Structure 1
Amino acid sequence: MLLTMTKKSSKAPAKKPAASAKAAPRKAAAGESNKVAKTQLVEMVADKTGLTKKQSEEAVSAMLDAIVTAVKGGKSVGMPGLGTLSVKATAARTGVRPGTSEKIQIPAGKKVAFKVASTLKGNL
C-alpha cells in the first residue's frame, strides 16, 4: 500500500510542471497579442486624420458595417493595398466525426475568403 502511494505521489509532480509549462506560453501570447483591436484602430485613425476619437469610432464602425453588409449580400469588397474579401461556395462532402469515426454528410455552404493584394504580399 505504501508503494502505490509513493508511486502516485512521484508521478503527480511530473505531470504538474508539464501542464504549467503548456499554460505559460498561452498566457504570454495573450498578454503580448499581435492583434490590433477596434479601439486601437480608432486611435490610429484619429491620429492620422486629426478627427476626434468619437468621430473616428463612427467612421471605423460605418466602414466595418458597410463591409459586413456587402459580404453578407454576396459581393466582393476590394480594399486597395490590403486585399479582397469575397464569398465562396463550398461543396457538399463526406466527413468523419472525430472520436467515433462515423461518416457524416457535411452540407454545401458559403465561406468568406480573403485574397491578399500583391503589393502587400510583396512587402511582407
Structure 2
Amino acid sequence: MLLTMTKKSTKAPAKKTAAAAAPAPAPKAAPAKKVPGESNKVAKTQLVELVADKTGLTKKQSEEAVSAMLDVVVDAIKSGKSVGLPGLGTMSVKETAARTGVKPGTSEKIQIPAGKKVAFKVASTLKGNL
C-alpha cells in the first residue's frame, strides 16, 4: 500500500495593503422595483388588454385588430402617405436634404445623404389637454 503525502506551502500569507484594509464602501440603495403597469410606456400586450376591456372582444380578437391596424399604418407610411389618427395626431413622411456633418471624435467632415423620416404632428385637441 502506497501513501502519498502532499507538500504544504511554506509561503507567508499575503500582506494587507492600504486599499484592502480600507472599509468597504456602503452598499447603494436598491433601485425601486418596477410594478407591472406603472411604466411610462404602454406595450402592445397592454394595448390589446385595454382594447379587449373597452370593446368586449376576446384578447385574441383584440390582438388581431390591433395588429391589423398597426400593419395598415406601417404600410401607408412606407408608401409615402400620411396617416391621420383622430384625437391623436398625424403621421407623415418628410424628406431630409443632403447635408455636411462632423464625425464625432475625429472632427472629420462627412457628407450625409438625403433621406426620409417619419414626422408626427400632435392633434390640437390632445395638445390642449396635456
TM-score category of the 2 structures, normalised to the smaller one: 0.7 to 0.9
Provide the rounded CA distance (Å) in 1 between the counterparts of 2:74 and 2:105: 36
TM-score by length of 1: 0.78
Choose the corresponding residue for 2:68, options 46, 59, 62: 62
Please name the residue that 2:58 is paired with.
52
Provide the rounded CA distance (Å) in 1 between the counterparts of 2:38 and 2:18: 41
Aligned residues: 113
**Between the two proteins, what is the percent identity of the paired residues?**
82
Structure 1 vs Structure 2 CA RMSD = 2.8
TM-score by length of 2: 0.74
Higher fraction of helix: 1
Q: Deviations over 1:26-69 (max 9, x none)?
A: x86xx952000000000000000000000000000000000000
Q: Runs in 1 of length 4+ with deviation above 4 angstroms?
A: none
Is 2:113 the counterpart of 1:107?
yes
Choose the corresponding residue for 1:88, options 90, 94, 97: 94
Please name the residue that 2:83 is paired with.
77
Gapped runs of 5+ residues in structure 2? Answer: 1-16
Q: Computing the radius of gyration over CA atoms, which structure comes out larger, 1 or 2?
A: 2
